[in-house]
Structure 1
Amino acid sequence: MEVIEFSYPLFILISIVIFCFMYFFKKRSLFYALCVGLYVSFVICMLFFPFVLDPGGVYYFVEELRWAVDFYPPSVRFELLPEYAFFHLALFIPFGFILKKEFSLKKTIMISIAVIFGIENVQLLINFLSYYIQYVYDFGDIIIHLCSTTIGILIYYPIHYLYPHIQKTIMKWTNIE
C-alpha cells in the first residue's frame, strides 16, 4: 500500500506562505499572521493527509463506492463518535472568526459555504483520482462545519467590541497613555 503522509516540511512551508501573505501583503500583525498561517496549515494537515495512492492487493473501487457519501445527521455523529464530532466542531470556530475579521458578513457567509462544500468536494475528488475510497462526502460534517463557523462569526462581535475597551483599560493601568 502506497500512502502519502503529511510531512512537517510541507506544514512549515504552507505556514510560511500564509504568514508572509498575511504579514507583508495584508499588513496584519506578526502574531495574527503567525496564528492564521499555523491554523490554516493545521486544517489542511488534518483534512487531507494521509491519503492512499495505491491500496495494493485486491481492492474493488466500484463496490466500495457506495460508502463514499454519508447522509447521517450530526446528532448521530455526536452519539457514535463524540470526539470526532467535537474536534470537527472546534476545528472551524477559528475559521469563522478569521473570515469575519477579514470580510463583511455577507462575504464571510458566502466564503464559508464555498470553502466547506469545497473541502468535501476535494475529498470526493481525491477518492476518484486515487481510485480508493478514503474520504466520505459527509453531510453531517458539512452541517457541523457550518455551525462551528457560525459560532466563530458570533464570537467575533463581542471580542471586536470589547478589545478596544480592554486595551484602553490596560494602557490606563500601566500609564502608557
Structure 2
Amino acid sequence: MNPTQLLGRGLACLPAVLVLTAAGTASPAGLTAPALPVPVVQVCTGFQTEAFAPGLNATPRQVAGRGEGELTSCLPFGDSLPASGRVTSTMSGVMTCVGGTRTRETTITWDDGGSSTLEESGGVESPVGGRRAAVFKGKILSGRFAGATTVTTRTLSPLPKPPCATETGLTEAAGPLTVEITHLP
C-alpha cells in the first residue's frame, strides 16, 4: 500500500474518530452520578419542665411523667425549616433521683403550625465536664421530618436532696432543652 492510499484510509476514518472523541468529552458529564442529598442537622434549644408521678426518690420504681416546654431558637432555619416550637411529652420508665431509663413520646408543634411526633428512649448520662443530662435518642414517626433521627438532651440542675430522701420524692424538675434533628432536605 502506498503512502497516498494509507493517507486516504486515515482521512476516511477521521469523521468516526472526531465523533467518538466528541462523545468521549461529553460523556463524563452525562455519566456523573446525581449528587446524593446531604443530611441537614437542625439544632433547637429552649427550656422544659417535667412532672413525675410518683416522685423520684432513691428507690428505683415505675414512674410516669409529663413534660412541657418551648424551643425558642432553631438553627439553621429558613424557607422549609422552622425557627421555634412548643414541646409536649409523656414518658414512663424505672427511675430514681440519680438515674434510670425511660421511653418518651414527644410532639413538637412548630411555629408555622406543622408538627413532628418523636419516639425516644434513654436515661441520665454524665457527659464531659461532670454535668448530668437526660439524653434520649430516637426517631420522628410522623409529621414534619418523618424518618429523621433525633437526640434530645435536657440538662439537669443539681437535684435538691431533701425531696429525693422522702417517700414522696421529687415531683418536678426543669432545665435547658436541646433537640437535634438529622434529616434529608
Range class of TM-score, shorter chain: under 0.3
Q: In terms of Rg, which structure is larger?
A: 2
Structure with bigger strand share is: 2
TM-score (norm 1): 0.24
Structure with bigger helix share is: 1
TM-score (norm 2): 0.24
